[in-house]
Structure 1
Amino acid sequence: MTINDKRISLGKRLRSSRSFHCLGTLPNWQDYPAVRKDALRNAAVVYYPSTLYEDLFESIGKSVFPSNFYSLMGNKIRQTAVFQLLGINHPRTRLYYGRNRMRRILEDFPLPFVAKTPVGSSQGRGVWLINREHQLRDYLHDHRPAYVQQYLPIDRDLRVVIVAGQVVHSYWRIQAADNFRNNVSQGARICYDDIPDDALKFAGDVAIRCGFGEVGLDVCHFEDRYYVLEANMVYGLEGFRQAGLDIHEILADLADRGLI
């Protein structure tokens, strides 16, 4: 089977699929051999086009998969804007620029609240529970803009991984006794028991409404409502490993069945 007989991916996420030819991401367009340039030009859809080429392909009208992936990856500001625009349940969140940020934040949010590094943080890093004014002062010293969010007193959240509208895995992340964060990398425990169907339905609806082609959504239940906390495009795989699953095999199966 030649390169032109397969669907085309730049990223290696689909390398296990017989249906795809993964070309790799080269830093310069001219670095690609002519046959690969032609394959990319002729492809109806480019899969996992990378941050480098996603905008390029979209600018010339070419479809990419997954949608809303690289542009929202690691960007809490954009994600929050999307959730707010669509009216999706999300903890109350505000951004603060300019002067008098500390006064304005304390007027808007009762202690405790959560403050985060808005772009580029992951695995629970760059997240603080603010209980005292001096903690807020320290946070503001290093963060412009400030990203401040309502604190929900929960002891777990649900990670739901969705690809092309299909829930492919889900599990609870239960906090360690000494940490308010639910991240596995911060000591949270993975649990597969008693995952409610309505939580999966909520997550699936969020993914569809937001146009997420592939995403790991963090969902929690608080005061009789489900909330989406964050969308993760680069999500941890420990929950897959403990369940004996391989995300690359799952993606390959979806691809080979024509679902992506």
Structure 2
Amino acid sequence: MSSNKTIIPGMEDAYKEQPSSFGSQNANAQDETYVPNPFGAMPNSVNMPNQKPVVGFLYSISKSNSGEFWPLRMGSNSIGRSADCDVCLGEATVSEQHAVLVVRQMKNPEKIIASICDARSTCGTMINGESLGFEQRECFDGDIITIGEHYDLYFVLIDAKQIGLNVCRGFIPTQTAATVFSRQPHQGNPYAAPSTNRFTQGYEQEDVNVQGGTVGHDEAENKPVTKPGGTIFM
């Protein structure tokens, strides 16, 4: 039986206890298949099982019309200019540790609630245009949270059970473009297109020899030209 085996990043240790039919622990690297990001899961991303569930978002167009958004997870979500914050806002009037937004699952009554408090910032926090001060304030879906002088954030709170969203037990993931199989790990972008395909395979990117002539490209004229000796430049 072939000694080939499949290695999935982050699960290398699981293969040490596999039966010998799956290949030995010291198998040659050339006998391995490398699978980056199976089923489209990004490394160290939101699909990891140890991550808290996403229960809302903050959305803003304060920086540009193209918009920005940040996921909010169950529990504490820090907001500030620091790169360590869960919601990092790069704006001068935002403090390093500006505010904390907490999302909590209530048991009786069963619902999801959220509250925000200012972390003794310099320029303060507002909800719907009203200054927050230092007290904790409950915030609701659709509120506008202002951080500092210039960052307006639209608050979206998602109670999946209340709105009827559930995990589908029969969900069947497909192998998307993120599932790339190769004999060796990718050194560059794993999502980059292959250097050759059925149209370009066997051809060089520049000049190739075709029946004694050369096909090329005239960048100045951008049209085919013929040179002595059967040389055609496109």
Query: Structure 2 length normalisation: TM-score?
Result: 0.28
| Bigger relative contact order, structure 1 or 2 (CA pairs below 8 A, ≥6 apart) | 1
Structure (1/2) with the larger strand percentage: 2
Structure (1/2) with the larger helix percentage: 1
Query: Structure 1 length normalisation: TM-score?
Result: 0.26
Select the structure of larger CA radius of gyration: 2
